[in-house]
Structures are given as structure tokens and as C-alpha cells.
Structure 1
Amino acid sequence: MLTGPREFEVQDVAPPVAEPGHVVIDVQRAGVCGTDVEFFTGGMQYLHDGFAEYPLRIGHEWMGTVASIGEGVDPAWIGRRVTGDTMLGCGICRRCLRGNQHVCEFRYEVGIRGGFPGALAEQLAVPVTALHPLPDTVDDTLGALVEPGGNALRSVWGAKLQQGDRLLVLGPGTIGLLVAMFAKAEGAEVHLMGRSPRSLECARALGFDGVWTEDELPVLPWDAVIDASNTPALPAKALDLVEPAGRVVYVGLAGSPSLVDTRTIALKDVTAVGVLSASPGLAGTVEQYAAGAVDPRPLVAATVGLDGVGAVLAGERPLGAGLGPKIHVDPRI
């Protein structure tokens, strides 16, 4: 539980009860995300906009097993390994009825918005409509990487890459590396630009040859640029770098406003795409993981228990952690 900026506790809380249409999950694995860190520091915009407040139980990248069900839920769900959508729309508004529940004005977001308790706990209750079954070929680590994978896959879809297209990914963190993996699986020539020596080393260890700092970046025609960074200046940089008639995808969020000159978008005839959530990409991500087309397990540097989360949020890396940017939590240890 986050009780205030840079304040946290591991608390005993009442176990969730499956309400009608809901299930209770025994959480087996959850990921710590940059959004969780923003809540920890107090910088997350939802705190200032009134969409979230302390105390808050975070955690929105998860997998587990259905332990119990509420009224109206098919008993066949009990015992199934699942992951789930973060975005929980109202189900009755115009956006939800059009299949856009992830941008519902009245939505809850698991562990993020509206006080909906997150997955950094032994158990989590969610609507059955949010569930995505996991086949046996998607293990616990992969299952908890479905949510970030969905964001990355949607970003690649937004770039509309053709075989052999040259893609530049800005920001080789979890999302950026997942973007690179999905794009490579689609046959694109993938390059990544970053700053952190560890993240650049990780990208190279994953088999990407085109890994650059901004000063080293070669002058090449970039058919698409995907900004997966949190740097305010890079959205404009992405627009400057992309080829005329190319596509720019914005999936990263900076802590302060990013300014883009719309005249450049028009004069270069560029298509700009924004990606908010994984929701429309979750099923496709499970399919690609299950088929072995993309295997992001090397991104997970370490797995800790609930008592280790505070240190991770504060920026510490667990002893013996690998190169990867992602830390997982197993609430059973």
C-alpha cells in the first residue's frame, strides 16, 4: 500500500470477495511499472487530476489463478490461469458500446484509477469480462508481461510496418524493448536510441545491432519512429527524424508537457498515433507469446516478494539482478 509520496507499508487487509460478475485471483506474479514509480514519488498526473488518491494499492501487470467466482460467472473459470485488462469501462456508455472501453470516461484502472485495488497483493478481484486465459505455453513470467506487451504490440500496429521497413525506437526500457521484439518478429529492421548504458547493453544482449545514443544515431531514412521514452524533448525529435509520409507513434509519457509543432506533421504529411493502453492488444500478445514469436522473459531482471517492492520503487535493484529493466513480484515469497 502506498500511503503517501515515498511512503509505503505491507499491510494485512481483508481478503476480496467475488461480487456478482467478478472473480477472485490468487496472484502468482505481478510487474512493477514506471506508472507505479510515479505514484510512489507523487508525480503521477492522476493524483493531481483527482483520479487517484492515497492510500493506494498499486499493480496492474499480473497473472494468477482464478480462486473463486461470484454469482453469474461460469464455474469453468475456477482453477484457470489468467491475466487481465487494466481498463475497466462502465460497459454502457457510447465509447464502451463501440469497443473502446479503455477510454471510457467513467473507467476504473486496476491499481491506478478510481481507487480500484491493484495486484501487488496475494489476491485480486476483477470483473470476469476483463480476463484473458493463458495457455500452458505462456508461463508465469510471460503472463505478467502480457499487459506491457499489449501496449507494445499496439504501438507496432500503429506504425503499420511493412516487411523490411526501418523502425527507430526511442527509449529502450520495457515498452521500447517489447516494441523492438514485436517489430522484429514482423520483419522490420529495428534500431533503438537510448541513454542508459545498462539499457543499451540489454538491447544488444537481446540481439539488436542498431543500438545508439543520440550522438551516435546514424542519418538514415526512418519509415516509422516509436517514442517509448519519458523524455519531454523526444516527441518532437521523433517527428523530426521520421520520413515524410511516415508514421510516429507516441506510447511513452513524460512527467512534463511535450511540445510538438503540428505544422511539421502537416508539412511532412506524417501520421501521428497515440497509444494509451494495452486493452485491444492483449489477446494478440498472448497469441504471439504462446507461439514463441516473441519471448520477452529476458527483460525480467529479478523477482522479489511484497516486502521488496518499496526498495524497487525507490530505484534500488535487487542483489544479483540481471540487465533487464523489469522487476517482478511474487506475493507468495
Structure 2
Amino acid sequence: MVCVAEARAVETSVLIRCFNEQKYLPGLFDALDRQTYRDFEVIIVDSGSFDRTREIAEARADTVLRISSHDFTFGYSLNAGIKAARGKFIAIVSAHTEPCDEHWLETLIAPLRDATVAMTYGRQLGKACSKFSETEDFERTFGPRPREESPARWCVNNANSAIRRDLWEKYPFDEELTGLEDIDWARRWMTEGLRVVYRPEARLYHIHEESWRQIRRRYYREAVAARRMGIKGPDRVLNEAFAELRHTVSDLVNAFSPGDNPVAARLTLGQRLREVVYFRVNRNIGTFKGLLEAHPLETRAEQEDALFDRSTRAVVIHGPGKVALENIELPELKPGDVVIRTAHVGVCATDLELLAGSLGYYKSGMAKYPIVPGHEFSGRIVTVGQNVIAFKEGDPVVVECIQSCGSCGECRAGNFIGCAERAEVGVLRLNGAYADFVTVPARFVHRLAPGTDLRQAALCEPTAVVLKGMRRLMPALEAQPNAERRCAVIGAGCIGHICAVELARRGHAVTVFDRNAARLEVFKGRPIQTSADLDRLGEFNVVVEATGHPEVLDKALHAAPAGATLLLLGLPYARKEFSFEAIAAFDKTVIGSVGSTAEDFAEAIRLMPELDLSALMACSLPLSKFAEAWELARAGSRLKIILDVEDRP
């Protein structure tokens, strides 16, 4: 798909390759807007971003070209972008860069007006957020003096370069290389007698905020490319090792006297020394693996793993009491999957049970850590699998928590909760939405109407849970058509609150019981009664137990009058001795209900505009404050806490 602004003649096309660059792209566009040289267009080549990259690009670029990440190589993305370009000069710049001044572009392309020059490249600098050693490498590789490129020391780099389009038409970039396509192209024209020149005045900041794994992958794929081009090979490992040893010693010395290295402002001496060691070790692991591995990057899956960082910020529970906000890899996008950018996620008691290790799945060994919690959420689709036709990018959605296999006997009978292979988002086998992005099968996704309040939509899951309980409760009540229905809801937490609101909407007389006066206070002004006295349960012939506390359950089972119907929505109920005489001898009916189905989600979405759930949306915090949100939830001082994932502080 290509989005193109009104055509105009330009001398230069600025080509930017992107994959998940929402953090840096606005700064690059701002720097381009400040350029004194104006005879240029901006072309974005996006290779499957699932953050806001394309949204930013489409608002500010002249052309946005989208290619599949399955087709991506550095050479292919450049060739695709240049085909769409109108300039006779092509300036190539990484999306995570920022020109240092308003003269960068003019300075970079000026040498190309000399017919003997095929390519130019500019200086790269680090910022405070960079790695200390990489900033030192930038100074070694580029430096302040102009020069002409030489095969003795290849430095040309497409993070900050420019080429002549007429030469590209004769020799496009090599689409098979896993990196170093810039060196390959420069080498081709230098053998023809043309020049490649370095212009240090064309300066930009090259921002790499990479994990150690990303650093290893980057140098690995570059080493593989150098090997395939014949620049380096296994015979060069010893030379590379000696060079890296020299650089490591130099970096360690410079850590004590960092001079102009901007990273020194961010790190203490001890941190600088440690980071030097980590950087050099990971760079060497990647480089030596790429030079020595027998058959490197031969499959497309291996190439995509080395080329793309599909990470997301997520809250990860590693075991009882062990939790951290960190970056994790998203699972591979299957043909039937979608990737959703999380907007809001509700804090649920289940999340706290996961942290405590008290959830039955984990105590029994049915589920294992690590797990990303969060099953009550809303968001927008950002990527769809190849077989997904029911959804498109940008659709606002919610997702069913319980996801069955769909093919076993239980599933075919409609008993999805009985599926032995079922997964539960954020609970069992599937990571949840305490994350910027979550990948789920499209068949469990429900589209919302345009303009839906996504914060309220995060309450669709608990609402669907209530609606399933109502669906199971109604047949028992309809069997007593002449009985007056006096409904008690025990527990005024999220589930109990929604249950009371829904019963009242259906026209039933409702009394909510809770010891927390603040939770009962929110029902003031509504046709719902409140009480803290469970001894009154004998007045009600419909009782909904929504606390999950075994003592409360025991009280409800014994105190409910003869002929009463009890709906159990609270989990977990601990082991407790109990005599069934209190049920059988008094014609009481006990109904259990857990989770929800697609039918219940559809009904929850339909009912959302009719339900006043404003009390459940009164407290929100950013995802980074998840620990504070959990403390509030434990204390019971807030009825519900919703984490705002999409809108960072």
C-alpha cells in the first residue's frame, strides 16, 4: 500500500526505513522541517510496524510505502523506496536518527553534484541514552576529518548517506544481504573509478537504545553479510579479536576520563566500566558467531529473527512475589492471529493471586510462570495475520479471556470451559495485556463500534462474566414463574457491582451486601439497597455470592431461605467441610458460573451504553505504576483500578 501526497518536482528524496519507530520518528521529522535546504520529499518505507509509526508517517511524510516484514531485507526496502522516489539524489537515513543542525541535508548531498562522486556519507554521534562503547566506536569510525572511502577501511553507512539515482538504476542494492548493503554498493562504483566521500559536517545523532540481545543480533547479521561479500571470514577471527581487545582497553581507560562522550552524564564510573564490558562481550559474541557458524541465516525464519525486534514493554510475573516491568518478545504472528495495541487493562483479583502464587492453576502445576497478567482489556488492532479477513488495522476491540481449542468433544458440545487445551489470556498459557502489545487468535476478538470509550470497554470482560452467570441463573428462576424475586448480591467489588447494576436494569429488587462502606456508598441515588448485615440473607430468595470467601459462602448457603437459588460467581473458594443437608433438605438450588463465552461478550458490548459503570472507572494509573495499583487493590480502597497502557505519563 502506498500513500502519496500531491506530486512535485524535487532534487532530493529522503528515504527512511522504519519498523516500530514511534519513539524516534517525530524528532527526525522535526529536524527535517528545520532544514534550510527545502528541495526534497520524504519517503517512508515501513516493514510491518505495529506501533504508531505509520500513523506518524502518514501525517508528515510525502509518501508512505508499506512492505511485508516477511519480504524485508535492507536492500529490498531501499530499492522499493527508491522506485517510488522522484529525486535525482537519494538521501538515506535511519528512522532512529536526528540531524544535528539545519544544514545537514544540504551538506550531505552537495558532493553528489560532482559527476565523479557516486555516494556520500556523514558523521554519526551518540547521545546520553546511547551505549558508552558504541559512542566511542562512532568516534573511531567517523571522526571529524573529511576523507575518501577506501577498501582498507570500509566506513560508509546507510544510517546517514546519499547516492545518485542514475547509478542506482544501473546497480540496485543487493537484496540478499543481511546487512552492509551500503558497503556493497559503494564498492561496486569505486571499482568503476567513482568516488565515495565522507562529509563530517553532515552530522546526526544515531540513537540505539538496544538490549544486549539486540546488539548480539545486529553484529551477527553484519558479520554474516561481510562474510558473504568476502570482506571478512573465519580467517579474520584472530585479527578481529585483537582489534576488539584494543578497543575494550581503550574504552575502559576512557571511562575514567570520558571527555565529550555524552553517555558519561548518564552513567557513573562503575556503570560505564560495566557497560563497556557488556557491550564488547555481546558485540564479539555476535561477530564471531557470524564469522564462524557453519550455515548462518539460511532460512527466512532465522533472518527475520535477526532482522526484527518484536519486543514489547510488559509486566512479567516470574514466580510468587517476583515481578518486573521489562521488555519481552512477542510470539510469532500466526496466520489467524492479530496484534493488539493495549489501550486499557483492568486490575483484577486474579492478577494478585498470580503474584501470590495462590491461584489453583499454579498450585496444581497446570500453569507455569512466567506470565504477563491482564485479561480485562481493550485496544486497537495494529497487525493482522495472513488469514484474518474479519478485522483491519485500527479496529477498536476487546478479547475473550477463555480460549478453547474449538475441535475437541467438549468444544463441539459447547462446553468450552471443559476443554482440556483451553488457554486463558493473562492467566493460563497466554500472556495478557499488562503490555503495550498482545498477540491473540482473531476468532476470540470482538470489534467495538467506532467512538466507543475504550476505558469503559476494558470492563467488557467482567460484564460478560456477569452476563454468563445471569444466563445460567435465569432458567432456575423461570421455573418459579410466580415467585417474587428478592435479590441479594454479596460483595460490592467489580463483579458484584456489575451484577447489582444488571439485576436492577432487569427490574429486580436488589440489595448489595459488603463490609466496605465506601463500596456501598457509590450506590446512593440508585434503585439499589445496601447492607452490611449478612443475617438478613433469609429475606432473599435469589443470592449471588461474588466474594469467593469460604466463610461468606458457608453463611449464604445456610442463611438463604428454603427454595432459594444461589449463584456462585466468586473465586477462589478454599477447601471447607460442609454438609449438603442445608441444600437438599430445603430445596435450594446452587449454580456455579465461571468465565464467559462469545455470546456473553457480544451481549456485554451491546449493553455497555445502557450500564452506568462510571464508579468502576474513577481510578486510573499508568502501566508503569502497576505496583501502586496492586497495593490499592489489596487495600480495597478503590472499587476498581484501570491501568492506562496507551497513554504513557
TM-score (normalizing by structure 2):
0.47
Could you tell me how far apart the structure 2 residues matched to 1:66 and 1:102 are? 26
Could you tell me how far apart the structure 2 residues matched to 1:122 and 1:159 are? 37
Query: Are the counterparts in 1 of residues 488 and 540 from structure 2 also a CA contact under 8 Å?
Result: yes
1:300 shift after superposition: 2.3
**Aligned to 2:623, which of 298, 306, 320?**
306
Could you tell me how far apart the structure 2 residues matched to 1:23 and 1:81 are? 12
Q: Matches of residues 40-79 of structure 1 in structure 2 within 5 Å?
A: 40-74=355-389, 76-79=391-394
Q: Give me the identity figure in percent.
A: 27
| Structure-1 residue corresponding to 2:508 | 188
- Please state if 1:232 is matched with 2:550: yes
| Structure-1 residue corresponding to 2:289 | none
Query: Are the counterparts in 2 of residues 46 and 52 from structure 1 also a CA contact under 8 Å?
Result: yes
1:37 shift after superposition: 0.7
Could you tell me how far apart the structure 2 residues matched to 1:226 and 1:71 are? 44
- Please state if 1:287 is matched with 2:606: yes
| Structure-1 residue corresponding to 2:207 | none
- Please state if 1:198 is matched with 2:518: yes
Could you tell me how far apart the structure 1 residues matched to 2:457 and 2:484 are? 30
1:107 shift after superposition: 0.6
| Structure-2 residue corresponding to 1:297 | 614
| Structure-2 residue corresponding to 1:88 | 403
Could you tell me how far apart the structure 2 residues matched to 1:89 and 1:75 are? 20
Change beyond 3 A, Cα 1:170–1:316: closer
1:224 shift after superposition: 0.6
Change beyond 3 A, Cα 1:309–1:81: same
What SS does structure 1 have at the residue aligned with 2:561?
Answer: strand
Could you tell me how far apart the structure 1 residues matched to 2:600 and 2:556 are? 23
Q: Deviations over 1:120-147 (max 9, x none)?
A: 1011111111011112464112210000
Q: Matches of residues 63-212 of structure 1 in structure 2 within 5 Å?
A: 63-74=378-389, 76-114=391-429, 116-136=430-450, 138-160=452-474, 165-202=485-522, 204-205=523-524, 207=526, 209-212=528-531
Look up the equivalent residue of 2:389 and give its one-letter code. Answer: D
1:316 shift after superposition: 6.2
Structure with larger RCO (C-alpha < 8 A, sep 6+) = 1
Query: Are the counterparts in 1 of residues 632 and 638 from structure 2 also a CA contact under 8 Å?
Result: no
Change beyond 3 A, Cα 1:137–1:50: same
Look up the equivalent residue of 2:371 and give its one-letter code. Answer: L
1:278 shift after superposition: 2.1
Change beyond 3 A, Cα 1:71–1:137: closer
Could you tell me how far apart the structure 2 residues matched to 1:75 and 1:207 are? 40
1:324 shift after superposition: 4.8
Most deviating of 259-268 and 275-284: 259-268
Look up the equivalent residue of 1:198 and give its one-letter code. Answer: A
Change beyond 3 A, Cα 1:153–1:219: closer
Query: Are the counterparts in 2 of residues 29 and 328 from structure 1 also a CA contact under 8 Å?
Result: yes
Query: Are the counterparts in 2 of residues 8 and 310 from structure 1 also a CA contact under 8 Å?
Result: no
Could you tell me how far apart the structure 2 residues matched to 1:65 and 1:304 are? 19
Query: Are the counterparts in 2 of residues 87 and 108 from structure 1 also a CA contact under 8 Å?
Result: yes
Look up the equivalent residue of 1:261 and give its one-letter code. Answer: S
1:173 shift after superposition: 0.5
Could you tell me how far apart the structure 2 residues matched to 1:270 and 1:27 are? 43
Change beyond 3 A, Cα 1:168–1:210: same
Query: Are the counterparts in 2 of residues 25 and 66 from structure 1 also a CA contact under 8 Å?
Result: yes
| Structure-1 residue corresponding to 2:569 | 251
1:271 shift after superposition: 1.7
Q: What RMSD, in angstroms, separates the aligned Cα atoms of the two structures?
A: 2.4
What SS does structure 1 have at the residue aligned with 2:329?
Answer: coil
Could you tell me how far apart the structure 1 residues matched to 2:450 and 2:513 are? 35
What SS does structure 2 have at the residue aligned with 1:278?
Answer: coil
1:214 shift after superposition: 2.4
- Please state if 1:2 is matched with 2:317: yes
Could you tell me how far apart the structure 2 residues matched to 1:313 and 1:172 are? 18
Larger Rg: 2
Q: Deviations over 1:171-190 (max 9, x none)?
A: 11100010001100110000
Look up the equivalent residue of 1:84 and give its one-letter code. Answer: V
Query: Are the counterparts in 2 of residues 249 and 275 from structure 1 also a CA contact under 8 Å?
Result: yes
1:193 shift after superposition: 1.0
Aligned length, in residue pairs: 325
| Structure-1 residue corresponding to 2:347 | 32
Could you tell me how far apart the structure 2 residues matched to 1:206 and 1:45 are? 39
Query: Are the counterparts in 2 of residues 141 and 297 from structure 1 also a CA contact under 8 Å?
Result: no
Change beyond 3 A, Cα 1:60–1:101: same
Q: Deviations over 1:19-41 (max 9, x none)?
A: 11111111111111000011112
Change beyond 3 A, Cα 1:277–1:75: closer
Change beyond 3 A, Cα 1:241–1:285: farther
Could you tell me how far apart the structure 1 residues matched to 2:620 and 2:334 are? 31
Could you tell me how far apart the structure 2 residues matched to 1:219 and 1:303 are? 34
Look up the equivalent residue of 2:541 and give its one-letter code. Answer: D
Could you tell me how far apart the structure 2 residues matched to 1:317 and 1:235 are? 21
Query: Are the counterparts in 2 of residues 193 and 214 from structure 1 also a CA contact under 8 Å?
Result: yes
What SS does structure 2 have at the residue aligned with 1:77?
Answer: coil
Query: Are the counterparts in 2 of residues 36 and 59 from structure 1 also a CA contact under 8 Å?
Result: yes
Look up the equivalent residue of 1:283 and give its one-letter code. Answer: A
Query: Are the counterparts in 1 of residues 568 and 593 from structure 2 also a CA contact under 8 Å?
Result: yes
Change beyond 3 A, Cα 1:324–1:159: farther
1:89 shift after superposition: 0.8
Change beyond 3 A, Cα 1:199–1:260: farther
Could you tell me how far apart the structure 1 residues matched to 2:524 and 2:511 are? 14
Change beyond 3 A, Cα 1:49–1:8: same
What SS does structure 2 have at the residue aligned with 1:233?
Answer: helix
Change beyond 3 A, Cα 1:6–1:208: farther
Change beyond 3 A, Cα 1:208–1:43: farther
- Between Structure 1 and Structure 2, the one with more helix by share is 2
Q: Deviations over 1:161-205 (max 9, x none)?
A: 579621001111100010001100110000011112222223x34
